[in-house]
Amino acid sequence: MNKLDIKTRSLILRCLVEGNSARATACLADVSKNTVNKLLIDAGMACSKYHDEHVRNVKASVIQCDEIWSFCYVKQKNVAPEEAGDVWTWTALDADSKLIVSYLVGGRDSEYAIELMDDVASRLANRVQIITDGHKAYLEAVEGAFGEDVDYAQIIKMYGVAPDSSKGRYSPADCTGIRKRRIEGNPAIEDVSTSHVERQNLTTRMSMRWFIRLTNGFSKKIENHAYAVALHFMYYNFARIHQTLKVSPAMSAGLTNRLWGIKDIVLLIDENEKASMKRGPYKKRES
């Protein structure tokens, strides 16, 4: 089977995690767009599997959660049956190490909030403080995942009416104030903030062509969008030096003792392919 060399595959992944579209990446690497998409799928599968298996027993003190909007195939107002439209990426970030502990791609209803919080609870090694915005879906999700074994608070932002002079396609109203609310346990009110995870949302928008609001680099399939997200968070956690910490989030969280490179992700793809090709023991068919 024909396979690109490690250098070319590393170049393709480097282009993708630095904000290039699949078409632009194909031009830069001198390969077909189908080759880029195939490598993205393989990388997304390998990265998702590695995150699920190794981002475990995380020792954290404050977990901030948020959702970031994007779209797949078409915007929601133009969506047709069997098309995705609006897509939300849920994230849970350790405020100290800046590690993305858990992420989830889907809708913005309580079903996805419950799935995210259940996953977060399974990855933590100790009692934590959970901070979210005022989205009501979090209330049931946090209670179901943690019960009373959590310190939970919400930060609720209040917005005024945007003046006509500042109204535009994506001009939000001015934030006129915030309110911090204890929900469960004894959260430290001075730590009630979602600024770190919101800053991480900016990193996501700047690093992934899929998340630019006015873009033609979106996916037509929700699965490919999810693979791109998995690749991005793998690179962010393990192979990208955080500007403030001077190490990768995974190093800061104690999940690895070295900084990964793009080549390591390529080798991870090969390992995942070899593992999927292994056959189990042969069993004789009983008569």
User: 42-56, 92-106, 226-240, 270-284: which range is least confident on average?
Assistant: 270-284
Task: Report yes or no on 287 lying in a domain.
Answer: no
The tokens for 80 are 């047709």
Structural domain range at position 45:
6-273
**285 domain-assigned:** no
Asked if 101 and 254 touch (Cβ cutoff 8 Å), the reply is no
**pLDDT of 76 strictly over 90:** no
- Is residue 11 predicted with pLDDT exceeding 80? yes
Q: Classify residue 189: in a domain, yes or no.
A: yes
Q: Which residue has the higher pLDDT, 177 or 99?
A: 99
Average pLDDT of the chain is 88
User: Binning pLDDT at 50, 70 and 90, where does residue 72 land?
Assistant: confident
Whether residue 72 lies inside any domain: the answer is yes
Question: What distances in angstroms separate CA 145 from CA 176, 197, 208, 267, one per listed residue?
Answer: 33, 20, 30, 35
Q: How many domains does the chain have?
A: 1
Say if 286 falls within a structural domain: no
Q: pLDDT band for position 1 (50/70/90)? A: low
Structural domain contains residue 100: yes
Q: What is the pLDDT of residue 209?
A: 84
**For residue 9, pLDDT beyond 70:** yes
In a domain, 278, yes or no: no
> For residue 44, is pLDDT > 60?
yes
Within a domain: residue 79? yes
pLDDT of 174 reads 74
What does the pLDDT look like over 150-202, one tens digit per residue?
999 999 988 777 666 555 666 667 777 888 999 999 999 998 999 999 999 99
